[in-house]
Amino acid sequence: MRVMVTGGAGFIGSALVRHLVTNPVQGREHCVLNIDKLTYAGNPASLHSVSGRGNYRFMQADICDRAAMERAFAQFRPDRVMHLAAESHVDRSITGASDFMATNVMGTFTLLDVARDYWQRLPAPERDRFRFLHVSTDEVYGSLGPQGLFAETTPYDPSSPYSASKAASDHLVKAWHRTYGLPVVVSNCSNNYGPYHFPEKLIPLTIINALEGRRLPVYGRGENVRDWLYVEDHVRALDCIAAHGRPGETYNVGGRNERRNIDVVRRICLILDAMAPAASPRESLIEFVADRPGHDARYAIDATKLESGLGWRAQETFETGIARTVRWYIDNEWWWRPLRNRYEGERLGLLQEAA
């Protein structure tokens, strides 16, 4: 299986690449091409464990660059494309949306159009096997009230420039299926957390700030609810959906782990106090800051279609996954310290929240 991954130097993409490169299917290795522009969010250090492997290749390129994408398809000849490259941080999309439109909308269009051209020329057996998995977010559905869950049939209602750009890309992908027959599958996942997560997002920012005794900024009163999924559970879901999902279908991915932001931050403080005791409890570092404009109140996923249709189940509970994550940040300062130094400053303290 020859798998082209876009955005494979990012948080979820690097977990996916590590998974594919080291997990053969029926005794046969995946051959993986990772295409990544290496924006601020792309980090080759996240791939240190696989970078020397014979079944892994890297190409630094922008998915908006049509000629580069045509070259990549022609030379690598993928059986499967797993498209994760994106601008992913909501706060950045609010202060400057143009990169989000370029990569998430035009980049997805470019990749789709090159993939269609490539797929139409494939001989029959390879043509039937080809899949294009588009990795998206539950944020396209907008905000829930206190009750209810997002299903695959929930109407799109995005709130932020980020989620609007992802919604646009989802529509493009589905149109390329209906109009041209391209065998696409779409996944919409809830908030991820885990190792190698860029330290501007809520969970890694909280862990690192708490380790350093800095303030722990929380938007509003911390009442917003997110449905957290451990990144390795997401990666197994993506592999499963790409292999067994029906072309043209959407699958929601989530672990039934709804938590208020304030409870997530408090939990991290308690775990850290136990694993790396400090002079005073870390909860005293929590500081409420002005809320994000257009901040969605609650996200929660109904993953029944994926669970009963394709047999996927989340393996980590929030309690086990968050403890593993905190331990990882304690043990892997070599990874986050250079990022921390590069993005030091007030802005880093204020940017928070998962994508």
Give me the residues that bind ligand NAD (CB under 6 A), please.
6-7, 9-13, 36-39, 41-42, 62-64, 84-88, 103, 107, 135-137, 166, 189, 191-192, 198, 354-355
Identity of the residue, 15 or 31, whose beta carbon is nearer to ligand NAD in the bound complex: 15
To which residue do tokens 């035009």 refer?
A: 106
Q: Cβ 240 to ligand NAD, closest distance in Å?
A: 16
Q: Identify the DSSP state of 301.
A: B
Q: Which of 56, 118, 141, 162 is catalytic?
A: 162
Respond yes or no: is residue 251 known to be catalytic: no
Respond yes or no: is residue 139 known to be catalytic: yes
CA distance 257 to 52: 36
Is residue 242 left, alpha or beta, with left meaning phi > 0 and alpha meaning psi from -120 to 50? alpha
Which amino acid, residue 77?
A: R
Identity of the residue, 38 or 323, whose beta carbon is nearer to ligand NAD in the bound complex: 38
Respond yes or no: is residue 36 known to be catalytic: no
Q: Cβ 65 to ligand NAD, closest distance in Å?
A: 8
3-state DSSP call for residue 174? Answer: helix
Identity of the residue, 285 or 307, whose beta carbon is nearer to ligand NAD in the bound complex: 307
CA distance 57 to 184: 24
Q: Which of 91, 139, 296, 316 is catalytic?
A: 139
Q: Cβ 179 to ligand NAD, closest distance in Å?
A: 22
- 188 touches 150 (CB < 8 A): yes
3-state DSSP call for residue 269? Answer: helix
Q: Give the nearest residue (CB) to ligand NAD.
A: 10
Q: Cβ 255 to ligand NAD, closest distance in Å?
A: 12
Return phi, psi of residue 200, to 5°: -100, -10
Cα–Cα distances in angstroms (integers) from residue 39 to residues 23, 44, 135, 206, 212, in the given order: 27, 11, 18, 23, 26
What is the Cα 117 distance to its own chain's centre?
27
Q: Which of 138, 296, 302, 307 is catalytic?
A: 138
Q: Cβ 25 to ligand NAD, closest distance in Å?
A: 22
Identity of the residue, 183 or 254, whose beta carbon is nearer to ligand NAD in the bound complex: 254
Identity of the residue, 10 or 217, whose beta carbon is nearer to ligand NAD in the bound complex: 10
- 325 touches 161 (CB < 8 A): no
Helix (H) / strand (E) containing 57? strand 56-60
Q: Give 102-114 as a DSSP string.
A: IIIIIIHHHHHHH
Identity of the residue, 192 or 209, whose beta carbon is nearer to ligand NAD in the bound complex: 192
Q: Cβ 321 to ligand NAD, closest distance in Å?
A: 13
CA distance 197 to 204: 6
Give the catalytic positions in this structure. Answer: 138-139, 162
